[in-house]
Copies of this chain bind each other. A is one copy, B any other.
Amino acid sequence: MKYPSGVSITKTPKQKELINYKNRGMNLEHDLNLTNDYYREINRAVIYKKPTPIKISKVDYSKNKITEAFFASPSTTDYNGIYRKQYIDFEAKETTHVKSFPLANIHKHQLLHMKKIMEHGGICFLIVRFSRKGETFLLLAKDLFQWLEENDNSTIPYDFFIQKAYQISDGYQPRLDYLKIIDQIYGGAK
């Protein structure tokens, strides 16, 4: 946005912090929520983000209000649902790294869960956004686990995504048409 010359817009440190906090890691989630809303609206798929797991320790029952709770670590992935009669399950992560994606971003429990889903015949993948590049990839769980088997490294290089993953293009509606990639891979009619 252009401002008339002479007008300088500065943010207080507090404002900056708030803005950074709000956007930190939330863009991908926001885009996926919009995408899933749209998929449900046009009845293409029924896929939801699961609620954030929380450990509730104090409740004020008179006001039906939780007064103390803590964030709990998730034992499953964040997203699941149904598409073309198939079980879909995925995790989504954003990284500010440019050359690699650190797997530390994903809990061990989540990796184990993804492996199980794969074994049970579900469609399972990881969506990774390299936020500085503005690029979003879909990496199938099978390719993720093959990499993990072959490499003794907890960081996946960006080049591996270029080689093995599928780039998801940004759009207006749906914002991130990841099911188009699933159609390409598993051969669904458009």
Cβ contact within 8 Å between A65 and B76: no
Partner of A82, one of B53, B71, B120: B120
Cβ contact within 8 Å between A68 and B70: no
Cβ contact within 8 Å between A51 and B52: yes
Closest to A58 in B: B67
Cβ contact within 8 Å between A69 and B65: yes
Given A67-B67, A87-B87, 20 new contacts (CB under 8 A): A40-B116, A45-B120, A46-B113, A46-B116, A46-B120, A51-B52, A51-B53, A52-B54, A54-B54, A54-B56, A54-B69, A66-B68, A67-B68, A80-B80, A82-B89, A82-B117, A82-B121, A85-B86, A85-B121, A86-B87
Q: List 24 A-B contacts (CB under 8 A).
A: A43-B119, A46-B122, A48-B75, A50-B51, A51-B51, A51-B53, A52-B54, A52-B56, A54-B54, A54-B56, A64-B71, A65-B69, A65-B70, A66-B66, A66-B68, A67-B67, A67-B68, A69-B69, A82-B89, A82-B120, A82-B121, A83-B120, A85-B121, A87-B87
